[in-house]
Amino acid sequence: MSTTPSPSRQPARTVPIGRVLKAHGLSGALLVDAFGETLASLESGETVMVVLGRAVGGAATASTARRFTIRAARALHGISVLVELAEIESREDAAGLRGAELQVERSRLPPLDPGEFYRGDLLNLEVVKPGGEPLGRVHAFLDLKAHDVLVVRDANRETLLPMVDDVIREIDVAAGRIVATPHELEDTRSPAPRLADRRRSRSRGRSSVGRAAPGA
């Protein structure tokens, strides 16, 4: 019996670049936890997608996303960026965006280096052990000091996979699959494939996931 190969998975059209921490001031500004340097580089008139109702890096639905126009974006201390959106003019409106993820079009980001991945490309990828046993799908990401972590879920469990070589054995975005050998989170190994645009505080310029994966 012949089988038809599954189509290649296309890279995500938008990439996460930050998460809203809280409202700032009285005029509707947002304090945002930036995943990399892209957010602070946005200029007035550029647009971002604001995605509500999910964990950072989790799968979004069309009903949770809305496009906003940047009025200003300015880097503060650490990894925080102060963002003003043209459509948000009060503290109350800004407070309603707490926890939202900011995303930009992939075309706004620099090309990836070999071995780098944006978070959006890894979302919902199937994760299996080397022998083929399924672990679930990538649901979200955690940012730890030493490395990024994939949050993998199936119907019955949640598995946390550090982005290190001894855990992440293979990432094949086109095939929609990650091969991983689970280890304890505290077992810190050498970095694995990198997630592009990690936090500025961890490296200058673009950083990565493992370098493994936020967005820009």
Torsion of CA 178, 182, 183, 185, to 10 degrees: 70
Does 6 reside within a domain? no
Are 101 and 146 contained in the same domain? no
Closest to 38 (Cα-Cα) out of 211, 198, 203, 201: 198
- CATH for 58: 2.40.30.60
Does 216 reside within a domain? no
Rounded Cα gap, residues 39 and 197, in angstroms: 10
Angle at 37 (CA atoms; ends 207, 114), nearest 5 degrees:
35
The structural domain count of the chain equals 2
> What's residue 12's pLDDT?
61
Are 102 and 120 contained in the same domain? no
Does 26 reside within a domain? yes
Does 96 reside within a domain? yes
Are 102 and 133 contained in the same domain? no
**Structure tokens that stand for 54 in this block:** 């999910």
- Pick from 89, 108, 127: which residue ends a domain? 108
Q: Which residue range forms the structural domain that includes residue 24? A: 14-108
- Pick from 80, 108, 136: which residue ends a domain? 108
Over residues 136-145, the pLDDT tens digits come to 999 888 877 7
Are 66 and 84 contained in the same domain? yes
> What's residue 78's pLDDT?
73
Are 94 and 143 contained in the same domain? no
Q: Check pLDDT > 90 for residue 22.
A: yes
Are 139 and 163 contained in the same domain? yes
Are 150 and 84 contained in the same domain? no
Over residues 74-133, the pLDDT tens digits come to 999 877 999 999 999 999 999 999 999 999 998 888 888 888 888 778 888 999 999 999
Q: How far is CA 171 from the centre of its chain?
A: 16
Does 101 reside within a domain? yes
Q: Check pLDDT > 50 for residue 49.
A: yes
Fill in the amino acid letter for 79: I
State whether residue 120 is helix, strand or coil. Answer: helix
Q: Average pLDDT, whole number, for the chain? A: 79
Are 104 and 128 contained in the same domain? no
> What's residue 193's pLDDT?
59
The alpha-carbon radius of gyration of the chain (Å, integer) is: 18
Are 94 and 142 contained in the same domain? no
Does 37 reside within a domain? yes
Does 178 reside within a domain? yes
How many of the other CB atoms lie within 10 Å of CB of 67? 10
- CATH for 141: 2.30.30.240
Torsion of CA 13, 43, 47, 195, to 10 degrees: 30
Over residues 150-202, the pLDDT tens digits come to 999 998 899 999 998 899 999 998 899 999 998 754 334 445 555 665 433 23
Are 25 and 89 contained in the same domain? yes
Are 128 and 100 contained in the same domain? no
Q: State whether the Cα torsion 199-203-204-205 is positive or negative.
A: negative
Q: Check pLDDT > 60 for residue 28.
A: yes
What is the SS3 string spanning 135-157?
A: EEEEEEEEECCCCEEEEEECCCC
- Pick from 108, 136, 163: which residue ends a domain? 108
